[in-house]
């Protein structure tokens, strides 16, 4: 832990979300795909386990995979380091359930288990960024042009890509702020930062990583394997 950081004396909890439906993976559970002989989600988990910054780790998994996940955690020797709990129907439900298992922490980090290449430096950078408002997320500026399209496939609007960022995890929040968001916002959202925004709270952004991709499509697995082997070039 960096003694010079404002959060150095605070306890930090991490929630790794591994309870997705993997609908776009053709029915294959992406989080349990074997990469280098181990389930995909264990790569992100390892980063948090090895971080001196993190005091608690909660892994949220699909209820149907609870026993399998606990078995994996035991096999890799993380049983005393990681608490496994069942998730809910929506991503935000899974985070809320994971949040209930985090105790006595000032900060909570929420990370997608489907992002196996999270860099340890990203975690510390996020905690530093979150000091100003209590909420911070990593992101990268968009390079593609983004257009709004109607149900008939007609372009209705083109956005200024210079103002658009692609948001990643880990997302960092003061625990009490994240708890308030989950108790207040019932609308379905795709990330926790959106809930904070809906409360009118400011969320800071900090530089993400192009290697920190989320496994969404089968072709993403090829990229991930290249990154993990050190063969990836931006």
Smallest CA-to-CA distance from 219 within 28, 16, 17 is with: 28
pTM value surpassing 0.85 = yes
Separation CA 92–CA 107 (nearest Å) = 18
> Is 146 domain-assigned?
no
pLDDT digit string (tens) for the chain, length 234 residues: 344 577 777 999 999 999 866 555 555 678 888 888 899 999 999 999 999 999 999 999 999 999 999 999 999 999 999 999 999 999 999 999 999 999 999 999 999 999 999 999 999 999 999 999 999 999 999 999 999 999 999 999 999 999 999 999 999 999 999 999 999 999 999 999 999 999 999 999 999 999 999 998 888 888 888 888 875 555
> Is 1 domain-assigned?
no
CATH of the domain at 190: 3.90.550.10
Q: Which domain holds residue 72?
A: 12-137+165-228
What 3-state class would DSSP assign to 62? Answer: coil
> Is 42 domain-assigned?
yes
Domain count along the chain = 1
Torsions phi, psi of 58, nearest 5?
Answer: -120, 125
> Is 154 domain-assigned?
no
């Amino acid at each position: 832990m960096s003694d010079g950081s404002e959060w150095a004396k605070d306890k930090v909890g991490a929630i790794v979300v591994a309870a997705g439906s993997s609908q776009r993976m053709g029915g294959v559970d992406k989080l349990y795909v074997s990469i280098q002989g181990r389930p995909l989600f264990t790569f992100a988990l390892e980063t948090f386990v090895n971080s001196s910054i993190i005091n608690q780790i909660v892994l949220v998994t699909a209820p149907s995979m609870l026993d399998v996940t606990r078995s994996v955690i035991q096999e890799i020797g993380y049983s005393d380091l990681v608490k496994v709990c069942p998730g809910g129907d929506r991503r935000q439900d899974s985070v809320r359930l994971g949040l209930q298992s985090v105790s006595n922490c000032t900060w909570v980090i929420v990370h997608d288990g489907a992002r196996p290449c999270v860099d340890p430096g990203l975690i510390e950078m996020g905690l530093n960024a979150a000091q100003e408002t209590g909420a911070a997320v990593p992101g990268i500026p968009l390079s593609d042009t983004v257009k709004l399209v109607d149900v008939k496939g007609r372009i209705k609007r083109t956005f200024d890509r210079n103002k658009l960022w692609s948001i990643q995890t880990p997302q960092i929040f003061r625990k009490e702020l994240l708890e308030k968001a989950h108790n207040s916002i019932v609308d379905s959202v795709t990330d926790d930062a959106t809930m904070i925004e809906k409360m009118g709270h400011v969320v800071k952004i900090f530089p993400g990583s192009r290697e920190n991709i989320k496994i969404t499509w089968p072709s993403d697995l090829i990229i991930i394997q290249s990154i993990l082997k050190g063969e990836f070039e931006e």
